Chain A
């Protein structure tokens, strides 16, 4: 998969940036901090994911004083050329067009074009709390199998409905229809847990492979579902646990059972990554999870997704930095990497872009 060209308008500090063509191989965007490298990668990610990897609201993406930001680009895939256009208004939902036709469901675009983003915030996958790891699993789920996104939205709604029911119940005993919501929670929750288990099974081996190449030892990624089913049906196991926690749930007035309380265990050298890994090690683990996801997506769709890697080198020692650069260059497919320091531009780079004050200038003759 390859981004043929990209255009950003009124996007953060990019008033108008058009890059045509976007070359193949490893591309390095270089420039001082605050000049718009991350914004460029974020804008490129919009063409694939129709959303920001950094923020959930639209407004911060729109350039100061503008009404809407625009990200457009054409992606060459095995399935044909896809022209993706995203209009991101200050308020309200984004509007998306695929090959000039309005798109109602975002997943109809996301299953055609695939991109994977890594950024410094991903360190929280390793160092942050469980919610950040759940989010990684869900981002990975959507990247791997865009049609499964409905599992997440359905489950989220079940939990909100059931929480409201528990919170507003003033009577004695349990609220009427709680049993019905138990059934919904068990069904939707089991579907999410099965999907997350599949995500970990797809991503973990590739992530570890990447980590071994950098560190020489394995990264273990283990799914920790909130409810385990030993041999039996997962739905039934969730119902059983709900019965056990009934009194607790009524007292605390919130859902205490289900995949919204899952975690993922990350470990290196038999130590929990959160507690024991050094900063550089944690960083490498986060990066390798994203690279592992990219590999898994490639296996799924038969071609490498476009990789957007924001500032990957700053926390790595020179040896690991060179290893990462070399692996990215040899990976096949398109990779855009941002670096702040000219000295960090790897020799293996196929093209270099200078980013300054929201403008991008491809270097010639490099």
Chain B
């Protein structure tokens, strides 16, 4: 549609996840119009991230170097592992500060429709860690959707021979939410997981 560098930029941007052709066009023109320094800073940040950031050899999270910040921290409990799909999930849980143990990033969820099978996930690495570190509990914190649940079921089955405690995050009503707006499935799961008062 356009010529030369601007079209190249649009093409590159539209390859990013969640960016369609229209967004790519908007971003490209914004970048072209922006001060040269802004654009250069962004370019530098991308190059630097690509060069310096690696994946932690333990948990698979993003890391500067061999190990990520959490796996380097000796104060973190090695006998509790919180298993998540993506680094962003670990970041979300970490922000809440509710997990004292360490993380394990699977790198996705099982989804045949997207061509992702268990062999594409870091499941073997998880089993290795569980055996090596005498893990006591594995918390499965994959997303509470179909693919996340199937992944959790699969991982739980693989962990059975190790005799560790395997738990799954509870599903139910959001705190501060309104009963009226809860859907059927959420409500029934909340009811299943109800507690004595």
Contact = CB atoms under 8 A, between A and B. Distances in A.
A180 B150 contact: yes
B150 A191 contact: no
A181 interface: yes
Given A168-B112, A177-B117, A161 B147 contact: yes
Contact of B113 (A147, A150, A154, A161): A161
Interface string B48-92: 000000000000000000000000000000000000000000000
B112 A180 contact: no
A161 B112 contact: yes
Interface string B100-111: 000000000011
B93 to A, nearest CB: 23
Interface residues on B, range: 10 to 19
Interface in A155-178: 157-158, 160-162, 164-165, 168, 175-177
Contact of A180 (B119, B151, B185): B151
B118 A176 contact: yes
A177 B146 contact: no
Contacts of B146: 154, 157-158, 161, 184, 188
Nearest to B157: A179
Contacts of B118: 176-177
Interface residues on A, range: 20 to 34
Best-buried of A147, A154, A175 by chain B (most CB within 10 Å):
A147
B184 interface: yes
Nearest to A175: B117
Given A150-B184, A154-B185, A164-B112, A184 B154 contact: no
Given A148-B184, A184-B146, A191-B185, A179 B112 contact: no
A162 B149 CA distance: 14
B153 interface: yes
B134 to A, nearest CB: 26
A151 interface: yes
From DSSP, what is the main secondary structure of chain A's interface residues? Answer: helix
B183 interface: yes
Contacts of B185: 150-151, 154, 191
Contacts of B188: 191
Contact of B150 (A107, A150, A168, A184): A184
Interface in B162-193: 183-185, 188
Given A161-B146, A164-B113, A147 B184 contact: yes
A224 interface: no
Nearest to B152: A180
A96 to B, nearest CB: 17
Contacts of A158: 146
A181 B150 contact: yes
B113 A160 contact: yes
Nearest to A182: B153
A191 B188 CA distance: 10
Interface string A106-138: 010000000000000000000000000000000
Contacts of A188: 146
A180 B157 contact: yes
Given A161-B113, A164-B112, A177-B117, 9 more contacts: A107-B183, A147-B184, A154-B146, A154-B185, A161-B150, A176-B119, A177-B110, A180-B110, A184-B153
Q: Which 10 A-B pairs have the closest CB atoms?
A: A164-B112, A180-B153, A165-B112, A180-B154, A180-B150, A177-B154, A176-B118, A148-B184, A147-B184, A177-B118
